Structure 1
């Protein structure tokens, strides 16, 4: 899939940032009520919290760039099902290469949605969890969504990498 320079750098930043966030999540110890803090797990948790804000900023810029209409792979490529014209029989790509490009765009759009959900739930956790690990019922539910979304993001990342590597075969 061809990208304009801005989209390329935003994609690279998100790929690095999301991958780093997933790795830090494996090494961190999130605060829990009644459990003393300290150690490397807490350091990784703080890195994860701050890194999450950076990834959120990149996602916001990415969304603004896509919505601006100047991105080479705009919203019609990322979310073709939202645009009837794109889905009409006359506009459906006939070649395998054309269909793969539509699929690649849709895959990128799915990743952007998953990462955005992850970042939004992470932001709620950032402000909703107290230093000692306390949280409201709502924030506890958001933590569950955040954890479930992390699993989806791991699966997405693995599929994205595998599909990307297929073009070299």
Structure 2
């Protein structure tokens, strides 16, 4: 059964989410075609775009962390990362069980507001993007300091590259599920993509 939804996130959260989504898409898209160190010594335009969009991503994800830590309403840090709380881990396990128990007659898993599983998945995405942004900025700084062959840059890339693969998987899954629910009229995309300042929020 489809659930009714009103826009439930603050304008700040929705704007930052939109900026992160755009920045991550640019990051991942440029990573497919860029050349980090062209042999002829010229600057690769896609690598430049990747670098500076990465800096923007880092700034935006930092702003998102500030919002998460200091907002008075909405999803809490413990709900986004339930792994460190016994109570929230239990709630997550029960939510996963409930999803399978409440599978409707069409075979689809039900969705409902306040779902601990959905919140934990969002937390996973925040963690992936945060690590990708931090390691990217670390490499950028090392590159500008002429230490791109040093242990700091190498260590950053050792983490950055596999995490970027996780980011691809998360982006495809997250966007796909959002579109799937929208097509089924269970949860409109405007829940997060409505930038009206008058949108109702929790």
In 1, distance between residues paired with 2:71 and 2:118?
19
Unaligned runs of at least 5 residues, structure 1: none
Q: 2:175 aligns with which of 132, 136, 161?
A: 161
| Aligned-pair CA distance for 1:144 | 2.3
| Aligned-pair CA distance for 1:132 | 7.8
| Aligned-pair CA distance for 1:76 | 3.1
User: In the alignment, does 2:108 pair up with 1:106?
Assistant: no
Q: 1:24 aligns with which of 30, 37, 44?
A: 30
The match for 1:125 is: 139
Q: Judging changes above 3 Å, is the alpha-carbon distance between structure 1 residues 23 and 83 closer, same or farther for their aligned structure 2 residues?
A: same
CA-based RMSD of the aligned residues comes to 2.7
Q: Judging changes above 3 Å, is the alpha-carbon distance between structure 1 residues 65 and 132 closer, same or farther for their aligned structure 2 residues?
A: closer
The match for 1:38 is: 42
Q: 1:52 aligns with which of 51, 54, 69?
A: 54
TM-score relative to the length of structure 2: 0.71
The match for 1:62 is: 64
In 1, distance between residues paired with 2:85 and 2:10?
22
2:13 partner SS: helix
In 1, distance between residues paired with 2:41 and 2:72?
47
- More divergent stretch after superposition (62-71 vs 93-102): 93-102
User: In the alignment, does 2:6 pair up with 1:4?
Assistant: no
1:28 partner SS: coil
| Aligned-pair CA distance for 1:71 | 4.6
Pick the structure with more helix per residue: 1
2:115 partner SS: helix
Unaligned runs of at least 5 residues, structure 2: 103-109, 185-202
- More divergent stretch after superposition (143-152 vs 96-105): 96-105
1:62 partner SS: helix
| Aligned-pair CA distance for 1:52 | 0.7
TM-score relative to the length of structure 1: 0.83
Greater relative contact order (Cα < 8 A, sep 6+)? 2
